[in-house]
Amino acid sequence: MFAVALLVSVAVFGTVGYTLTERWSVWHAFYVTVLGITTVDLPPMSRGGEVFTVFLLVAGVGATLYTFTLLATVVVEGGLPKRLQRRREARMLETISDHFIICGYGRIGSIVAEQFRRQRIPHVVIERDAERVQVALEQGALSVEADASREEVLKRVGIDRARGLVAVVGTDADNVYTVLSARVMRPNLFIISRAETDDATQKLKRAGADRVISPYQIGGMQIAQTALRPAVVDFVELATNADNIDLAMEEITIAQKSPFSNVSIVDANLRQRYGVIVIGIQRHDRRMEFNPEPDTRIEPGDKLVVLGRPDSLKRLETDAAEVKV
């Protein structure tokens, strides 16, 4: 604002000066002032006019350079890039779909986002702390600085198009409010939340969370299992590691009209066709059958827990969703 005022002041000063020294009209004086500032050839004038022109050119060029330098600084150091970044993020938020919403970017939220990033799962981070939002942006996550428990914020990040929501905000109370808001807006949304106490676990389930994870309980169980069965723990970690290119464990959903629907495991011939092993079947009522027999029937809506090579699992997932012909 000061730079613009300075430039205008020079123009006014030049107009008045030429009016007094050359006895020109206001318009002609202004016209010559603009020519002088822009270093264009000037018309003949008296010695007094020439002296004044020298001062005008020095002041005008200085003011012009200062103004454009200031504008360039604003554009380069935050003005334009930030506006373009905000517009880009707004467009991405409007178009993103089948994504996960991560509420909170603390220690757990950042780990969840990293796993999604490795597996190329689209996700959006909601975080109230500006510094954490900046860290998330630097790590490549689409992030919003806001309160995840507010319905307008959840609507902004596309909860109506989301695949699921992960509530890992700082406190159990915040997680309860976030889960409750999300469940009201999307009754069928898959919601996972973190809990620090048993009491919070029950409250989160009543609020609408499909799964409630206690990091302390899981951590304690992991330590105990590692102490008692280290080989088993190593195998599970190997099978569930997103970076492993030789072996992976995945869940495959059987579509209503899938070619594997209403057939037995042996008739589906999954071992020979895809080289995978069926470890378990989760029925549509969430009942889990471990190590199913070969004649076990696969029903629509079941989720097969299978072990195999990532490329084989991807082919199986595609075929399981196809319609019978």
Domains 2-76 and 96-219 agree in fold: no
The CATH architecture assigned to 96-219 reads 3-Layer(aba) Sandwich (3.40)
Which of 39, 186, 168, 153 is closest to 103 using CA atoms? Answer: 168
Report, in angstroms and rounded to the nearest whole number, the Rg of the chain calculated over CA atoms. Answer: 33
- The whole-number pLDDT of residue 81 equals 56
Q: Tell me the mean pLDDT per 10 residues along the chain, length 325.
A: 65 80 79 67 64 64 69 61 69 90 94 91 94 90 92 93 94 94 95 91 93 89 89 80 74 89 90 90 88 91 90 89 65
How high is the pLDDT of residue 37? 65
pLDDT of res. 26:
82
φ, ψ dihedrals at 297, nearest 5°? -85, 135
**pLDDT score, position 8:** 72
Q: What is the dihedral of CA 88, 93, 99, 104, to 10 degrees?
A: 90
Indicate the fold that domain 245-320 takes in CATH.
Answer: Alpha-Beta Plaits (3.30.70)
Residue 74: predicted pLDDT: 60
**In the structure encoding, which two tokens stand for residue 146, read together?**
């806001």
pLDDT at residue 210 in the model: 94
> Pairing mode, if any, of strands 303-308 and 248-253?
antiparallel
Measure the CA–CA gap between 110 and 121, rounded to whole angstroms: 14
State the fold for domain 2-76: Helix Hairpins (1.10.287)
Residue spans per domain, the chain = 2-76, 96-219, 245-320
pLDDT at 77: 59
> How far apart are the C-alpha atoms of 88 and 219, rounded to whole Å?
39
pTM above 0.85, yes or no: no
Contact 305, 278 (CB under 8 A): yes
